[in-house]
Amino acid sequence: MKISTSDRAQVLTQALPYIKQYAGKTVVIKYGGNAMISNGLKSAVMEDIVLLSTVGIRVVLVHGGGPEINEVLAKLGKQPKFIGGLRYTDEETMEVVQMVLAGKVNKELVQRLEQQGGRAIGLCGLDGGMIKAVKMEGEHDLGLVGDITSVDVTLIRNSLDNGTVPVIATIAAGENDDRVYNINADIAASQIASALCAEKLVLMTDVRGLLRDKDDEDTLISVVNVSEVPSLKKKGIIKGGMIPKIDCCVEAVRRGVKRTHIIDGRIEHSILIEMLTDEGIGTMFL
């Protein structure tokens, strides 16, 4: 159905001030979940990123790539191994993780953005010493899974200054050794956003946002002040897989990112809607 002239005018008069507000500002988007699997959603995400970048918003795209890693491991006859939901990464697996994230997924995203008319550059934590890490300490030995010790955003800044969208695969160089470490992409995105003093961090997920009642989408909480998070955890509203994601949001806000968002990647153009309309989507932390 055709959209009327006055509806068009209304959408535009609403969006323009947002464009003005975000122009020249930095937005870090963690790309993952269904939005990375469905071909239609993938296209819409790429389109959104190119459009935002087109009007002068500095977009940084951070990605993981679990399903693709498993696929290559399978071809090599290697069984993925998870401990407490985290991938156990031995040396051979790490080599595959690096090749798939930095050589396959990363470059495919770059090529798609370029095909949409954008300008993109594929980077990983090794480039320019961007991300340094040490072996993660914890209950279980996870092999080459790393904890970030420092983030150097020089290359990211240079890329943004040159009008290019940096696409970042989350592997890191050892702070104290010559190894390469596998890094959780949500955490990397959060820390990169902090280091860039980003305006926004957007985590794309497969849920509507934070729900008061997880079975009822109408109970979506639109805005959470980070000081409320402990009480929401105590009440069991924040729980399970949402905990680490929301911790990333809280941490980013605490370190200076203005606003962080958990949005539903399953909705087409969710990024555009979130950024350029009064409505918003998902849950915002501030």
Kindly list the residues in this chain that would bind a copy of itself in the complex (CB under 8 A).
3, 5-13, 15-17, 19-20, 23, 47, 51-52, 54-56, 72, 75-76, 95, 98-104, 106-107, 110-111, 114-115, 119-124, 126-129, 154-155, 158-159, 162, 164, 171, 173, 178, 180, 267-269, 272-273, 276-277, 279
Nearer to a copy of itself, 17 or 256 (CB): 17
Task: Name the minimum Å distance from CB 103 to a copy of itself.
Answer: 2
Task: Name the minimum Å distance from CB 99 to a copy of itself.
Answer: 4
Nearer to a copy of itself, 4 or 227 (CB): 4
Cα–Cα distance, 63 to 76 (Å, whole number): 23
Q: Which backbone phi and psi does 162 adopt, to 5 degrees?
A: -90, 10
CA-nearest of 179, 103, 185, 71 to 135 is 179
* DSSP structure class, residue 280: -
Q: Which amino acid is at 131?
A: I
Strand order from edge to edge, sheet including 223-224 = 120-124, 165-169, 58-63, 26-31, 200-205, 259-264, 283-285, 223-224
Cα–Cα distance, 208 to 195 (Å, whole number): 28
CA-nearest of 118, 124, 120, 119 to 103 is 124
Q: What is the CA radius of gyration of the chain?
A: 19
Question: Residue 216 is encoded by which pair of tokens?
Answer: 């009822």
Task: Name the minimum Å distance from CB 280 to a copy of itself.
Answer: 11
* DSSP structure class, residue 136: P
Nearer to a copy of itself, 107 or 259 (CB): 107
Task: Name the minimum Å distance from CB 14 to a copy of itself.
Answer: 8
Nearer to a copy of itself, 110 or 257 (CB): 110
Task: Name the minimum Å distance from CB 108 to a copy of itself.
Answer: 8
Nearer to a copy of itself, 106 or 252 (CB): 106
Nearer to a copy of itself, 210 or 281 (CB): 281
Nearer to a copy of itself, 74 or 243 (CB): 74
Task: Name the minimum Å distance from CB 62 to a copy of itself.
Answer: 16
Task: Report how far apart, in Å, the C-alpha atoms of 128 and of each of 111, 173, 264, 283 are.
Answer: 22, 10, 33, 34
Task: Name the minimum Å distance from CB 96 to a copy of itself.
Answer: 9
